[in-house]
Amino acid sequence: MIAYIKGELAEVNENGIVVESNMTGYAISVPSSVLSQLPAIGEQIKIHTYLHVREDAMLLYGFLTKEDLAIFKLLIMVNGIGPKAALGILSAISPDELRFAILSDDTKTISKAPGIGAKTASKLILELKDKVRMEDAFEIRLKHAEEAMHESKKEAQASIQNDAAAALVALGYSSTEALKAVRQVEITENTDVEDVLKKALKHISLF
């Protein structure tokens, strides 16, 4: 069983992604919602996987977190829902939304998924309600919210660093000097580009 694949994101296409690890490219089907969360081509990625074996093929399905893989595994336990249908559900509804829809008997939300009518949605809720805990659903949602906030802060800090480095280059310093100086500056929530620029100029004078 392949628990996860860690390697370089080599390709993104309409059917999923290709991750290269140890000189092997793994074709992995992922929910369409995952595509917007992927790193750039060539960067490292870790995908938690499920290997589905058929008579004519071996197919990999992948997710960014263990929790999302777990909800996928629950879905394919429902009679009549295979991996492809489960992937379609998780492309239309986020795992967090699905957990709360199951807990609140929300067939309307689940029916948003292609090929899932009200009858199938009711059956899904009936079979999975005792397998999804309210405490876990809240804990996972909180974890995802904290991760999103952390990522947003990182992006904001990177933007400030890039703007400060560009200003230093405009002042006549080399890109290497500018980046080295900017990375010496600690960035907090109240730091702006002007602050970084002033402190970076002090570091440059010490090089």
For the chain, which domains are there?
A: 4-63 (2.40.50.140), 66-132 (1.10.150.20), 137-204 (1.10.8.10)
Residue 157 burial by Cβ neighbours in a 10 Å radius (0-12, 13-18, 19+): middle
Token pair, residue 106, equals: 């929300």
Q: What is the pLDDT of residue 144?
A: 67
> Are residues 54 and 43 in contact, defined by beta-carbon separation less than 8 angstroms?
no
pTM over 0.75: no
For residue 148, what is the DSSP state?
H
Question: Confidence band (pLDDT; 50, 70, 90) for 50?
Answer: very high
Residues 113-163: pLDDT tens digits? 988 999 999 999 999 998 888 777 667 777 767 767 777 777 778 888 888
Q: What is the pLDDT of residue 169?
A: 86
Of 82, 66, 61, nearest to 16 by C-alpha is: 61
Residues 151-202: pLDDT tens digits? 777 777 888 888 888 888 888 888 888 888 888 888 877 788 888 888 888 7
Q: What is the pLDDT of residue 206?
A: 58
